[in-house]
Amino acid sequence: MQQLLRIEQIKLLNYNPFRITLALYFVFFALGILIYPAIDKEIPVISLSDLFRFPDIWLFLSWITEPYNAMLALIIIMVTTKEFSNHTFKTQVIFGLSRTELLLQKLLSVVVLSLFATLLVGLTSLALGLIYSYKLTFKIAMENTWILGRYLIAAFSYMSIGLLIALLIKNTALSLLTFLALRVFVDPVLFLILRKFEIKWYLPFRTITRLTPIPDLIEIFERKMNSSESINEATLDILPKGLPAWLNIVMVILYTSLMIFFSYRLMQKRKFT
Amino acid sequence: MKEILSIQGLSKSYKNIRAIHNLNLEISEGQAFGILGPNGSGKTTTLSIVTGIIRQDNGYFRWFGEEPNAKQRKTIGSLIESPHFYPYLSLEKNLRIICDIKGTSNADIGRVLETARLSERKKSKFSSMSLGMKQRLGIAAAMLGDPKVLVLDEPTNGLDPEGIAEVREIVIEQVKMGKTLILASHILNEVEKICDHVAILKNGELLACGPVKELLTEDEIIEISCGDNRLLKKKLDSSKLVKEVDSENGMLILTLNESISPADINNFAFSNQLVIHHMLSRKRSLESQFLELVKEE
């Protein structure tokens, strides 16, 4: 395992597109965080900086940074398809890696990047929470940290989809386009077509994004105003419902397992020329 | 001698094209074994199967008498077709990856780069190297971990004469060190210079296999003519003096059986009332023998 990690480390850290995409990921991540306090100044009645306080910061940051996982999936697509175009999968097999190890190698990259993304969200949330919170107890600070577990699963799932697409298509540009088309076009269109049916919540990307859902803003503002009367959410109907949380997690794990299974089957069958 | 590679009934087709058919080969320890054949004869397919790149349709092979597995491949040094490495990495970093795959120490990198005469370029990126250097790096990578077996597929392909000589020299050094070599080539001269055993393939089938000295020795042939070449050919065909009688430019070309001399042919013709007025003894080139063998089937 260590040996596979070392190999991936050499490949990734010296690969310019990886470094550039990762740098862009940081830039977008930082912009995402900086943009909200800016909005705050434009809307004086609703203070968005409330969202930067414990315990809501965990949910809020997980929600706003969730789309950036797509960039990590793009990295996985690039590094995997490059193995085909450089014929380096073949070289690694010749020198003694099994096909299972080739897949394991990529899955390790997925795990490392997922951990990295989760750690980044976790540490940033912690830092912002410490800066913005005025009521600071350990219990309040740690209240919503469970979302990081879901964020980890979401990041892993995103990259698993990327990995499967890369192994299936093999061509970098086509794989990137396919992934982006699925994420940006196919999923929303299908969601719209199926809007009247419950099945719309079972769409793969939908289940993944629902792992880190939009925070319950009403509850947050209610809490802030110390209102005893709860606003009728059903009347407002501004928050999408979706599947129950447990079923959503089960579906994502099921989809991810299928992605890995099909990736395994593909890796076993691929002819390395 | 210990068995290194045993191939039994190996077959592989690509859609309707038969790449190899029912191939049987035995390679023993210490042999420098050449797989010789024209382009498309199934050499690369055979080596690709035994190095795990592609799977056979039928038949099986054993490395060191055992079922093939990824662990065995770590003890074999292979170069199949052109070497493929990470273009954006230096030679040293590419070799570090191979060391990690093989589970050998990085300390070996210096030795193999030295052997492949690439020490001075160890920091250069793979993409910046010439074809000859890339080929030498492929051989250097194959030598990492000091494997007992080297599998090289067309190691001099596309190289200039200087590059060919350099690569050949490196390979011969390895053979002299007692390593088992499996070398696929379409160049007869290369196999003849490096190998002691050879298997000749054509259209995926084994035409001949054995020691180079037996299969590719320079046969003595004689060129003769007499008043009635047709009659002499008929008489010689029914005799046990010759292996083969061919006609070429009004002459008969005879390949003599062992211990038969040109004088015996002269006596034979004379006893059949045929007077030979032209007789010339010459050696048949290896090239023509190889071409004949491949053409015959």
d(CA B62, CA A99): 19
Least confident of A27-31, A222-226, B126-130: A222-226
Is residue B127 over pLDDT 90?
yes
How far apart CA B230 and CA A175 sit, in angstroms, is 71
Domain B3-215 has CATH 3.40.50.720: no
Report whether pLDDT(B123) > 60: yes
Strands B32-36 and B180-185 turn out to be: parallel
Structure-model confidence comparison of residues A78 and A241, the more confident one: A78
ipTM: 0.85
pLDDT of residue A42: 57
Query: Smallest CA–CA separation between A112 and chain B, in Å?
Result: 19
**What is the pLDDT at residue A123?**
95
CB contacts of B72 in chain A (<8 Å) are 96
pLDDT at A99: 93
From the list A15, A90, A98, the residue facing B53 with the nearest CB is A90
- The model's pLDDT over A95-151, given as tens digits with 9 standing for 90+, comes to 989 999 999 999 999 999 999 999 999 999 999 899 888 877 888 888 888 999 999
B220-294 and B3-215 share a CATH fold: no
Size of interface A-B (CB pairs under 8 A): 73
Q: Where residue A232 falls among pLDDT bands split at 50, 70, 90?
A: low
Q: Is the pLDDT of residue B284 over 70?
A: no
Q: In the structure, what pLDDT confidence band is assigned to residue B92 with cuts at 50, 70 and 90? A: very high
Residue A272 to residue B98, Cβ atoms within 8 A: no
* Residue B142: closest C-alpha in chain A: A95
Average model confidence (pLDDT) across chain B: 87
A88 Cβ under 8 Å from any chain B Cβ: yes
Could you tell me which of A191, A161, A192, A167 has the C-alpha nearest to residue A179? A161
For A3, nearest residue in chain B (alpha carbons): B100
pLDDT given for residue A153 in this prediction: 96
For chain B, give every domain's residue range: 3-215, 220-294
A-interface mutation test, from B63, B75, B96, B100, most A Cβ less than 10 A away: B100
User: How large is the average pLDDT for residues B70-93?
Assistant: 90
Question: Out of A109-123, A148-162, B111-125, which region has the weakest mean confidence (pLDDT)?
Answer: B111-125
| Long-range CB pairs of B156-165, under 8 A, 24+ apart, other chains included | B156/B185, B156/B187, B156/B190, B157/B81, B157/B82, B158/B82, B158/B131, B159/B131, B159/B132, B159/B135, B160/B132, B162/B132, B163/B131, B163/B132, B163/B135
Whether this prediction's pTM lies above 0.90 is answered by no
Q: Does A94 touch chain B if contact means CB atoms closer than 8 Å? A: yes
pLDDT digits (tens, 9 = 90+) for A37-52: 666 665 555 566 777 8
What digits encode the pLDDT tens for the residues B219-233?
A: 677 889 888 888 888
The closest alpha carbon to A206, from A218, A220, A192, A196, belongs to A192
- The phi and psi torsions of B72 (rounded to 5 degrees) equal -60, -40
Highest mean pLDDT among A224-228, A235-239, B172-176: B172-176
| End-to-end Cα spacing for chain A | 26
Residue of chain A whose Cα is closest to the Cα of B126: A86
In a 3-state reduction of DSSP, which class is residue B4?
A: strand
What is the model's pLDDT at position B151? 94
Name the nearest CA neighbour of A162 among A267, A240, A255, A74. Answer: A74
- Residue A61 tokens, joined: 């940051």
Element at B211 (helix H, strand E): strand B205-211
Residues of chain A found within 8 Å of residue B89, distances taken between Cβ atoms: 10-11, 14
Q: Does domain B220-294 have CATH number 3.30.70.100?
A: yes
pLDDT value at B13 more than 80: yes
pLDDT (0 to 100) of residue B285: 59
Q: Which of B101, B108, B125 to mutate to test the interface with A (most CBs of A within 10 A)?
A: B101
Average pLDDT over residues A232-255: 75
